[in-house]
Amino acid sequence: MVDAALRKGRVNFPFPYTPYSIQEDFMATLYDVLEAGKVGIFESPTGTGKSLSLICGALSWLRDFEEKKKQEEARLLADERNGQDKQQPASCSMEASNCQGSTAELDWITEFIQKKEERDMVDRLKEEQIKRKKREVRLEKIRHNVQLKYASKRKRLEDDETQRLLQLSKEILSTELGSHGLEQLDHEEEELILAEYESDEETKVGSGLDEDDDDLEEEHVTKIYYCSRTHSQLAQFVHEVQKSPFGEEIRLVSLGSRQNLCVNEEVSRLGAVQLINDRCMEMQKNKHGKKSEGEESEGKKRRVSRAVCPFYSYEQMQFLRDEVLVKVKDIEQLVALGKETKACPYFGMKIAIPNFLLVVLPYQMLLHESTRCASGIKLKDQVVIIDEAHNLIDTITCIYSTEVSGSQLCCAHSQLLQYMERYRKRLKAKNLMYIKQILYLLERFVSILGGNVNQNPNTQSISQTGTELKSINDFLFQSQIDNINLFKVQRYCEKSLISKKLFGFVERDGATTVVKTNKENQKMAGLQNFLLTLHQGPDKEAAVQCPPVEAEADQHKMASPLMQIEGFLSALTNANQDGRVILNRQGTVAQSSLKFLLLNPAVHFAKVLQECRAVIIAGGTMQPVSDFREQLLSCAVGSDRVVEFSCGHVIPPENILPIILCSGPSNQQLEFTYEKRDLPQMMDEMGRILGNLCNVVPGGVVCFFPSYEYEKQVYLHWERTGLLTRLVTKKKIFQEPKRANQVEQVLAEYAKCIKRCSQVRGQVTGALLFSVVGGKMSEGINFSDDLGRCVVMVGMPYPNIKSPELQEKMAYLDKTMPRTVSQPPSKMLIENLCMKAVNQSIGRAIRHQKDYASILLLDHRYARPSIFNKLPHWIKERTEVKPAFGLAFAALSKFHREKKSCYGTEGS
């Protein structure tokens, strides 16, 4: 790798190779936005090195910013030393000025306060300098002193041996006791038995404290938070950092969910996110919690075993943190290291955040406020980079929209009622008051759906089915809960941790069912059977008769419905105009649901914008940008603080041929509206176009349909007419699967087919892939080289305007957004949603500088100025509008013939 450096003005941008001019401009603009503390919207097409430009531009700014801060600290410390030398004369003059009346006295007080503030700042800077030096010394020791690693490994082996011996002791005791159980002892003799032993090292794990740990933390470290949509995108970004000039020096940490970071196989094999979270929290509760009096007395009769996580070792998590501090690691490497060191990466990285300069994390952890706080992420004066941000508005909307089913509402009510009855005498009055309020809320929620909370939701039929939308206030009034302060209820849920307490209650009662008396068994079995009925549905009534232990295992799967309901209660505290409540009444109460729909994502994103020093919103296809300005930024930042940057592509102009085709081979006008696309002549015309394309396009052709249903309809029609048989003679046909776990297999077979055809050079010249806009293959999949020599877009994938959610969003925008001269905001929303989906799909083919492809847009409406102008700039400037198929076919034939002779075929 060539370590080239770019001088752009006075800024030095280290780069692993000679950058493109568009990368130079990207980094320079990014640097200026970060320096000025603004909000930047950056568009850089895939294949132009966007990730590397973000890394080198942002980390160059961070490097210079930290250097300036050190220089300023050095200046202040130098001034302080100089001030000490002149302290005696200054104090004499101060005494003299003190004798000159009340004005001089006020001046003296002001000066004293200022001096004190300066001294406090200097003292803080001295402390930070000492911490920084200690941290640097320790990191150097970790880098070069392998004895530390050996010591840690030896400690792990010792712990393993201790655990083995402990398990062996338990087995011996169990064997000796046999079936007779523990010997009953009187009280005095019972006191002689040794209590469960925990060493100092083990108790340190629970406290989470370490004497030297503070030495590694800095209070005022400016960080860059980089977030993206998926863990694979984050891993790709980390690999780019590793390869960059900053790979050896930057301190980077990758955060993720328990599902991605858990190394405890007992927990991770549960699969579902909620199950993993619940199990992990239960183990943490067992680790830190003290036994209640009841448990202690019960434990004397039978030794109660409570599972704890062996990977939650604070000492080992410190070692894991140190390893990550000295060398950048992605999620997979982090998990592998966690298994090796027997340390939890999830909690280990959360406690390590203060030590790192670059924090890599998924959308959810940064954009959702409560998740952000729970993860220890503080955005004050920090930098946030949101990559792959083309769907940022939809992401925020989904994060803050929440849905609860009638089954969950009834289940939570039953559990909470049991909890209150069980501990009524031990609960304080205020606790009882709030629990009764929550029970009342749950009762009213079920009632508004048309059910009764005291009856089985699976057997309660709904007389009036359908979907109804209400404003927040109307929903509160109709539910008769407008007299309850939901803010206080929400705060109570957060502070009391009632959902976790309830979870523990359900788990505990389920776990102890087998040792209760017959009467208690029947009572608990009734609760378990009811809970199982809620979870399983009416078609599984026979499963209710299973033994209590099995019931407990199934019950675990739905142990935290109140957590989901807390999210719904929180959503109801939004301003009335910012959201709507959707009442979805289906056949039974269990199938019905309440959903909160967020209409104004800007209100939640505003908190990020207000706290951060600078925010960068980046993506490969950000057009149309107007959505970001109007729906996301306008309420929090002025237009003067927003900077837009868009660059072209690195490929030569002649390597791409975008065509808008207005009519087919038989002069049938192409207009795939919802009313016309089902016509047989329209489907036949589309088939004839693809048949001609397959004759001249080598390798792979990817055809995007508006929906799975329409793709299936067209496929069946072509089967009946015999057109599919003619297509198969030139290209093997593949279809995008609906199930995500089948996508990789289909793509692999598609790629193998293309490679085989390029080598054999027979009658079949490649493959034809039918995909769906917004499906699994329209985002994040690279159809580079021969995998995508032509991308075909069938019609315009407008969203379903009959959707109640979309209609409400359209009405909201028409009411709150300024109307443009050309069209109302609701129509702009529909067009923008359509064109965002189109731009994402057609950008799949061009992935690097030497790639080439043609793009065919099958609909005359793409030629309309309002639509045409929403194409990405690098595609729009090269697009040709062809009114007749003959002209388009001639251009396509010439393009692919010339490119094939120039580049040949490149299988992927």
Segment 113-124, tens digit of pLDDT: 766 666 676 676
| Tokens of residue 816, six digits | 């709150």
Q: Exposure of 471 by Cβ count < 10 A (0-12 exposed, 13-18 middle, 19+ buried)?
A: middle
pLDDT-derived band at 295, boundaries 50, 70, 90: very low
Long-range CB contacts (within 8 A, 24+) of 3-9: 3/245
Point out which residues pair with 701 in neighbouring strands. 768, 790
Query: What residues have CB less than 8 Å from 73, skipping those under 6 apart?
Result: 125, 128, 129
Helix/strand/coil (H, E, C) string of 193-237? CCCCCCCHHHHHHHHCCCCCHHHHCCCCCCCEEEEECCHHHHHHH
pLDDT at 293 over 70: no
Peptide bond into 624 cis (omega under 30): yes
pLDDT band at 201 (very low <50, low <70, confident <90, very high): very low
Q: Which tokens in the block code for residue 638?
A: 């002025």
Query: What CA–CA distance (Å, rounded) separates 696 from 894?
Result: 9
All domains of the chain, ordered by start, with CATH?
21-74+613-646 (no CATH), 224-283+309-382 (3.40.50.300), 402-503+559-601 (1.10.275), 656-904 (3.40.50.300)
- The helices-and-strands tally (H runs, E runs) of the chain is 37, 20
| 272-276, 343-347, 592-596, range with greatest mean pLDDT | 592-596
- Dihedral through CA 160, CA 163, CA 164, CA 167, nearest 10? -160
Query: Of 234-238, 383-387, 703-707, which gets the smallest average pLDDT?
Result: 234-238
What distance in Å separates the CA atoms of residue 466 and residue 585, rounded to the nearest whole number?
Answer: 5
Measured CA to CA, the distance from residue 781 to residue 844 in angstroms comes to 7
The CA distance from 108 to 94, in Å, is 7
Q: Name the band, by pLDDT with cuts 50, 70 and 90, for residue 848.
A: confident
Assess contact for 560 and 274: CB atoms under 8 A: yes
d(CA 27, CA 50): 10
Burial class, 268, CB count within 10 angstroms (exposed 0-12 / middle 13-18 / buried 19+): middle
pLDDT at residue 821 is higher than 90:
no
Provide the pLDDT confidence category of residue 524 given band limits of 50, 70 and 90.
very low
Instruction: Kindly report, residue by residue over 776-810, the tens digit of the pLDDT.
Output: 776 767 787 888 889 999 999 999 888 888 989 99
Rounded CA-CA distance 298/295 in Å is 5
Query: pLDDT: is 166 or 403 the higher one?
Result: 403
Written as six digits, the tokens of 222 are: 């400016």
β-strands 642-646, 614-619 pairing: unpaired
Q: Determine the Cα angle at 838 with ends 635 and 368, to 5°.
A: 40
3-state secondary structure of 839: helix
DSSP designation for 633: I
User: DSSP 3-state assignment of 366?
Assistant: helix
- What are the angstrom distances between the C-alpha of 76 and each of 115, 170, 222, 547? 12, 63, 19, 73
Distance CA(776)–CA(773), nearest Å, equals: 9
State the pLDDT confidence band at 424, using cuts at 50, 70 and 90: confident
**321-330, 525-534, 708-717, range with greatest mean pLDDT:** 708-717
CA separation, residue 305 to residues 295, 302, 512, 528 (Å): 11, 9, 11, 22
Number of other CB atoms surrounding residue 36 within 10 Å: 12
Three-class SS state of 846? coil
Is residue 479 within 8 Å of residue 448, measured between CB atoms? yes
Q: Is 907 left (phi over 0), alpha (psi -120 to 50) or beta?
A: beta
Percent of the chain with pLDDT over 70: 73
Gyration radius of the chain over CA positions: 33
pLDDT above 60: residue 193: no
Residue percentage of the chain with pLDDT more than 90: 24
Cα separation, 435 vs 758, whole angstroms? 69
Higher pLDDT, 216 or 753: 753
The continuous run of DSSP H or E covering 13 comes out as strand 11-15
Identity of the amino acid at 256: G
φ, ψ dihedrals at 182, nearest 5° = -75, 145
Q: Are 217 and 354 in contact (CB under 8 A)?
A: yes
Report the C-alpha gap between 756 and 469 in whole angstroms.
54
The answer to whether residue 771 scores a pLDDT higher than 70 is yes
Check pLDDT > 90 for residue 442: yes
Indicate if the pLDDT at residue 474 is higher than 70: yes
- 155: confidence class by pLDDT, cuts 50, 70, 90: low
SS3 content of the chain, % helix, strand, coil (to 5): 60, 10, 30
**Residue 448: band (very low, low, confident or very high) from pLDDT cuts 50, 70, 90:** very high
CA distance 46 to 872: 12
Report pLDDT digits (tens) over 50-77.
889 999 999 999 988 888 877 777 776 6
Which residues on adjacent β-strands are paired with residue 644? 41
**Amino acid identity, position 427:** L
Q: What is the pLDDT of residue 477?
A: 93
d(CA 446, CA 407): 9
- The Cβ-side half-sphere exposure at 272, using a 13 Å CA radius, reads 9
- Backbone φ and ψ of 9, nearest 5°: 70, -120
> Tokens 């030096």 — which residue?
133
Report the range of poorest mean pLDDT among 170-174, 431-435, 461-465. Answer: 170-174
d(CA 351, CA 320): 11
CA distance linking residue 509 with residue 515, whole number of Å: 10
pTM value?
0.77
Q: In this structure, which amino acid lies at residue 263? A: V
Angle (CA) 884 885 891, round 5°:
105
Angle, helices 392-400/602-611, rounded to nearest 10 degrees: 110
Contact assessment for residue 139 and residue 326, using Cβ atoms and an 8 Å cutoff: yes
- Among 248-257, 264-273, 542-551, where is mean pLDDT lowest? 542-551
Compute the average pLDDT of residues 192-202: 40
Distance CA 78, CA 70 (A): 12
Distance CA 632, CA 635 (A): 7
